[in-house]
Amino acid sequence: MPPAVSRTPTDSAVTLAHIMSEHDTNLYGTVHGGVVMKLIDDAAAAAAGRHAGVPAVTVSVEEMSFLAPVRAGDLLTVRARVDHAGRSSMDVSVVVTAERWNLTGPVTRVATAQLVFVAVDADGQPHRVPALVPESTVEQRRERLARERRARRAKGEAG
């Protein structure tokens, strides 16, 4: 039986903000992709854990795109939300934006990602998660798209 409680995407959405330092940069003076990936994974894990009500582990990174360079001094905002909940797995989307250190330009979208998490019990085994109830039409569309991705994954596994 799934947990009696259900949650909306807003219930578990997470926003992390982080100022990049020179310790995060590579030899070219821009921030390492791995630093941004860790922030994405942290925010997504927090959103998945919030939805599940138990810890959730990353099982798959479905998509990760770096759209613009990040530099020391930039204020990164990492927004994660659960798009779809299965039996124990959750599809999570993340959008990362940067406010440049001189704060003159527009807020820039610098990365996007889609990950899959699995809620786990104390023994590290998959744990049933609450149903996701998308409210707005945008949330309903995201849920449908995530369900389609999940169906494609299942087909890939079968083939």
Q: Which of 157, 86, 80 is nearest to 119 (CA)?
A: 86
Per CB under 6 A, contacts with ligand COA among 59-88 are 59-60, 86-88
For position 120 contacting ligand COA by CB under 6 A, the verdict is yes
For position 136 contacting ligand COA by CB under 6 A, the verdict is no
Residue with the CB atom nearest ligand COA in the bound state = 86
- Residue closer to ligand COA by CB (options 8, 58) is 58
| 3-state secondary structure at position 5 | coil
CA-based radius of gyration for the chain: 17
* Tokens representing residue 30 in the block: 């821009």
Residue among 118, 127, 130, 132 that touches ligand COA (CB under 6 A): 118
* Look-up of token digits 């807020």: 107
Residue among 25, 42, 126, 133 that touches ligand COA (CB under 6 A): 126
**Beta-bridge mates of residue 78:** 16, 96
Total residues in contact with ligand COA, by rule CB under 6 A: 15
Contact 128, 1 (CB under 8 A): yes
- Residue 144's contacts (CB-CB under 8 Å, 6 or more residues apart) are none
Residue among 58, 77, 108, 112 that touches ligand COA (CB under 6 A): 58
Segment lying near ligand COA (by CB under 6 A), choices 17-25, 29-37, 99-107, 121-129: 121-129
Backbone angles phi, psi at 41, to 5 degrees: -65, -40
Footprint on this chain of ligand COA (rule: CB under 6 A):
57-60, 86-89, 116, 118, 120, 124-126, 153
